[in-house]
Each structure stands twice: as structure tokens, then as C-alpha cells.
Chains A and B, each alone.
Chain A
Amino acid sequence: MKNLILYICLLGFIQMQAQESYTIDGASGELYIHEINKVTLVGSNESKLTVEVDGKLYETPEKSKGLKLINPAGYSDNTGIGLHVSKDGNSYSFRRISNKKGNRYIFHVPKGYHVHYESSSYNAGTLHINDVEAELDVSANYNRVELSGVTGPMAIHSVYGGIEAKFSSVSQEGPISLYSVYSDVDVSVPANTKANFNLKVSYGDVFSDIDLSYPQSEDGFKHLNAKKFTGLMNGGGVDFTLKSGYNNVYLRKQ
């Protein structure tokens, strides 16, 4: 009985949390996410962008009652969920305003959006990107980036964090590039993918279970350089660059 009551309280608690969100109407636009440490991007079929707080919203200290969280750049919490949003046409920029570690934010992103994520903080957590068909532009320093159910086009780099990506299909609309300086890049694509894989490693190796064909260069010689080469999958297709400075590149088929 005691457990049941606890369970019901817990359910109520979870529901209360689910109310902490912020919505922008419209199925397309530019989404900029600046320096928010913990972010999950999820694809959405709705014609609105929703930002949701994962878990309980970070509580401001008792002493701050009646005061506003301020920031030298003039940002304040105008979303009610601890973020600042600014609007320019149909472009929306979200910023973190507290120095505290803070929450994970879940962005439900419609297909018609282009998403730009930027982070340079030591405290940045893994960036999760699930089932997002929107175009992605990610510039990270410490974050690990994990993608699943994605299609491209996308350009993603992280200095320290690794990149793991599971593609549901590979869009031929524009180039795909995944680059980590210090960690590995691990990618799996469907077996029928058509792509030109540009594979670049400085100190690591490239591993794959895909039959790639290696085009001859114009002078008739095969490229023997194992640090930088191009391999075509199913006769070639969209430009798909995988690059790691000090670690390995893994390319798998599903």
C-alpha cells in the first residue's frame, strides 16, 4: 500500500515536470543552440518546435527570491525554463543563462528546421540526436555526439568528444561530414547506401565491413596513402567525410 502511494506521488511528480516546456509555432526555421551543456534533439512531426526540461528544473536558491538571474550580455530567462530565447525573423537562438550545471533540454525539432549547435564548455554533456531529419550543423569542443535515425545533410565536429552515428538512410541532398580530433568516429549506414566516403586519419586507422571501390587517380595510379583516401559505396553518391585526428574511424553497414 505504502508503495502504491509512493508510486502515485511519483507519477504526479513526473506529470508536473512534463509541464515545464516552451513552444514556438511553425514547422520551419533556423534553430541556434548556444552553449547549452546538455541537449537532446528529437525529430518531430508536429508543426511546432518544443523545448522541454528533462527532469526537475534547477531550483534557484532561496535567497534569490524577488531577484532576476542576470547576465552581462543582457540575457534573462524569458522562456520560464531557465533559457533565453531571441528571435530574428524565423531564426531562434537559445542560450543558457545560469553558470550552474543545469538541466538537460530536449528539443523536439520539425523536419523543416536547420539546427545549429555550438558548445565550448568543459561541462558539456553528450549531445543526443535522435530521428532528426533536419539539417545539422554542430560545433562542439568537449561533447560526445551520438546520433541515431538520422539522414544528413550534416556537418559535425568535436575536438575532444567522439562521434557515433547510426543512419536510417543517407540523404543525397548535401554533404555529410563527421570529424573528431581526439576521439573515434563510428558510423553505420544501410547496406544500400550510395556514397563517396572520404576517410581521413592522422594517427589512427580505418576499419570497415563495407566493400568499397577505390577510384584510380587521374594519373592512373592507385592511391596508396592509408591516411587519406576515398572509397565508393554502391558506385558512389553523396560526399561523406569521416575524419579523426588521433583515433580510429569505424564504418559499418547495418
Chain B
Amino acid sequence: MTDSELMAKVKQGELRFMSDIFNRHHVSIYNYFKKMTGRPSLSEDLTQTVFEKVIRSKHAYNEQSAFKAWLFKMAKNSLMDHYRSNKKMQITYDKIPEQVSFYDDDSEKLDPDLKAKVHNALKRIKHEHKEILILTRFENLQYAEAAAVVGISENAVKARVFRAIKSFKEAYYNS
């Protein structure tokens, strides 16, 4: 079944299909939060919130729209709501050391030094640039999907990706 078909079932009240949706997407939603905030336990909490929201807002889902974009939009809103209600905490985010996550599970792909370099660069670029890189490069959202998530046009996404790659490169070499 496609995501939309699963959601259609959930919408009709067959909540058990939510389990499939969760299994398919919780890792990518978790990683969106993890890459955005750098905090594993907060990311797990926010991931839980998103899937609870999917159940609560099931009637708002329109089968015509891309499920992934809808889900990430919800994730983005949850993160914004979190920032809004914890304005003071936001400042401390960047000071929280990343070490814990460095030894997680992906050391084969990227050696720890380079990984630290990527993380440091991501931390130093603008929030919107980091967000667009994570959505399009890491989560592999298409520009149209990213546009729906961020709430700007597809062309604006494209322009933002260009600027983000540029500022990422600068941060990467100047860290």
C-alpha cells in the first residue's frame, strides 16, 4: 500500500495502519529533528509528537497531496512550536556538544573528523539554509515537496538551495 492508501485507511478510523506509517517514516522524521537540533532525546520527543499529530489531524489529510510533504510540514511546525515555547533554550542549542551522536552508527561512511566538520558547518549557517539542505540533500525531498514544507515557491526553493550550498561551503572551509 502507498502512504496515501494507508492514510486513507487511518482516516476511515482504521488506526492500526498508523503502525505501518510510523515504521516507514519515523527514522527520517527523527533524523530531520536530530540534524536540526543536534539533540537525540528532544528529537525522539518531537518525533512522537508528529505521529500523534498525524492521528489527530487525519481528517485534514488530502489524498491528492504528497504524504511526505505533509508529514515534514507537520514536523517543521512542531519544531517551530517548540522553539516558540522555549525561546530561551534555543540559544543554548548550539552550545550543546555533539559528541554523543558522533559515535552513533554511521562512522563507516564519513570519518569522525570530517563528520565533525560537516556538523560544525551546519551549525554555523542560517537556520533556513540548514533546513533546506537537510530536506533536499539528506531527506531527498523533491523541490516541489520541500516548497510545500517550507511554504515558499519551488523557484524560491531552488534559489535557496543554491545559496545554502554556497554558505555551507564557506562554513565548511572556515571552521
Q: Which residues of A contact B (CB under 8 A)?
A: 34-35, 72-73, 95, 99-101, 120-123
* Interface size class of chain B, counting residues whose CB lies under 8 Å from the partner chain: 10 to 19
**Which residue of chain B is the closest to A142 with respect to CB atoms?**
B153
A72 near B66: Cβ-Cβ < 8 Å? no
Q: How far is the CB of B144 from chain A (nearest CB, A)?
A: 6
Q: Which of A34, A35, A99 is close to B144, meaning CB atoms less than 8 Å apart?
A: A99
Chain B, 64-96, contact with A by CB distance < 8 Å: what is the 0/1 string? 111000000000000000000000000000000
Q: Which of B2, B63, B64, B154 is close to A123, meaning CB atoms less than 8 Å apart?
A: B154
Q: Which of A72, A100, A121 is close to B5, meaning CB atoms less than 8 Å apart?
A: A72
A72 near B2: Cβ-Cβ < 8 Å? yes
Q: Could you pull out 11 A-B pairs where Cβ atoms are within 8 angstroms?
A: A34-B64, A73-B63, A73-B64, A95-B64, A101-B144, A120-B65, A121-B148, A122-B151, A122-B153, A122-B154, A123-B147
Dominant secondary structure at the A interface: loop
Tell me, yes or no, whether B136 is within 8 Å of chain A by CB. Answer: no
Residues of the A chain whose Cβ atoms lie less than 8 Å from the Cβ of B154: 101, 122-123
Residues of the B chain whose Cβ atoms lie less than 8 Å from the Cβ of A99: 66, 142, 144
A121 to B62, CA, bound (A): 11
Interface residues of B in 1-37 (CB under 8 A from A): 2, 4-5, 8
Dominant secondary structure at the B interface: loop
Residues of the A chain whose Cβ atoms lie less than 8 Å from the Cβ of B2: 72
Residues of the A chain whose Cβ atoms lie less than 8 Å from the Cβ of B151: 122
Q: How far is the CB of B16 from chain A (nearest CB, A)?
A: 19
Residues of the B chain whose Cβ atoms lie less than 8 Å from the Cβ of A123: 144, 147-148, 153-154
A101 to B66, CA, bound (A): 13
B62 near A72: Cβ-Cβ < 8 Å? no
A72 to B154, CA, bound (A): 24
A34 to B153, CA, bound (A): 19
**Which residue of chain B is the closest to A124 with respect to CB atoms?**
B153
